[in-house]
Structure 1
Amino acid sequence: MADISAQVATESEKNPLERQRELMQLLSQETRHSIIQALLGHPEVLASAAEINHFVPSKAKKTVEEQLDVLVAADILAIYNHTLNKQKRGLPWKFYGFTTHGTDILEDFNYLKAVPMARAVHQKTRKPEKIIRHETAPRPPLPDPVRVTFRLNNESG
């Protein structure tokens, strides 16, 4: 796991084909791919760990957390904190979402074409009360390029 993120981090030393191969390996690993799909389908493109775990049910929570760390280390995802939620019981304050670099990579590998289908699946998926509460919780703003990529017009909280 860490080897992949370390390899991706040294992109300036690699030729473009090697870089592309490494990115494809990073994105196509089963758990990471499922995480990316869960985020592509999320209406706010920012999800708590609990939400991501709900949409990646076939993997252990620890496995999902490890793969989230790999995606953060590779600068595909970032952790976005909404500290105002810390004072509110039952609301998440730590969210995972794409970075500007991550959206560029998703565009390069045609992942963004899957957004309408991923959002439809997300909308139709049954969610327990906790996940609904997390999904509707206030969130921090995304960077403008990420917000524009996903055509998000209004930012929450």
Structure 2
Amino acid sequence: MVDISTRSKADNEESPLERQRRLMELLSQETRHSVIQTLVGHPEILASADEINHFIPSKSNKTVEEQLDVLVEADILTIYEYPPNKETRGFPWKFYGFTEYGTDILGEFNYLKGVPMTRSVHQKTRKPEKIERHEMAPRPSLPEPIRTAFRLDEEAE
């Protein structure tokens, strides 16, 4: 597994080229890249573990969860909780989404330019009832800088 140190320590101790190389390695690993693409394309930018697993069928749930943990540890993703969903059967209450730091990194590496295409792919993908229910579940609000970064031009108007 790739060595992912905390961003504050790594950002302070490494050259810009080393930082870029470390982040490219982090973002380009196959499963992590698929997780990122799934979240970039999600209409709410927050997805349950079941939703993410649905969009990465070639990997085991355990493998996806391990890579989600790596992305959380690297401060690219965080877990957003929505406790009211705990009372509603069939709704997830924990969602994965980008941190402000993670969103900045996506912008730096041009991932945000792909938002329209990945959203289109997401919308056109067939989903079983459980995944559609998860997709429609209420979610917590994202911080404004994250919502703004993922806003499509037609949404801003």
User: TM-score, normalised on structure 1?
Assistant: 0.93
Which secondary structure state, in structure 2, belongs to the residue aligned with residue 132 of structure 1?
helix
CA deviations on 1:44-73 (whole Å, 9 max, x unpaired) are 000000000000110000000000000001
Which secondary structure state, in structure 1, belongs to the residue aligned with residue 39 of structure 2?
helix
Give the 3 Å change call, closer, same or farther, for CA 7–94 of structure 1 in structure 2: closer
Q: Any runs of at least 4 consecutive aligned residues in structure 1 with deviations exceeding 3 A, and if so which?
A: none
- Measured after TM superposition, the shift of residue 5 of structure 1 is 1.9
Q: Which residue of 2 aligns with 1:5?
A: 4
Q: Which residue of 2 aligns with 1:79?
A: 79
Mapped pair 1:114 → 2:117:
no
Share of identical aligned residues, percent?
70
Q: Which residue of 2 aligns with 1:48?
A: 48
Q: How many residues align?
A: 152
- For structure 2, list consecutive stretches of 5 or more residues without a partner in the other structure: none
Mapped pair 1:140 → 2:157:
no
- For structure 1, list consecutive stretches of 5 or more residues without a partner in the other structure: none
- Measured after TM superposition, the shift of residue 4 of structure 1 is 2.5
Q: Distance in 2 between matches of 1:5 and 1:145?
A: 25
CA deviations on 1:19-60 (whole Å, 9 max, x unpaired) are 000000000000000000000100000000000000011000
Q: Which residue of 2 aligns with 1:18?
A: 18
- Measured after TM superposition, the shift of residue 96 of structure 1 is 0.2
Residue type of the partner of 1:4? Answer: D
Q: Distance in 1 between matches of 2:25 and 2:150?
A: 24
Q: Cα RMSD between the aligned structures?
A: 1.3
- Measured after TM superposition, the shift of residue 104 of structure 1 is 0.4
- Measured after TM superposition, the shift of residue 7 of structure 1 is 6.5
User: TM-score, normalised on structure 2?
Assistant: 0.93
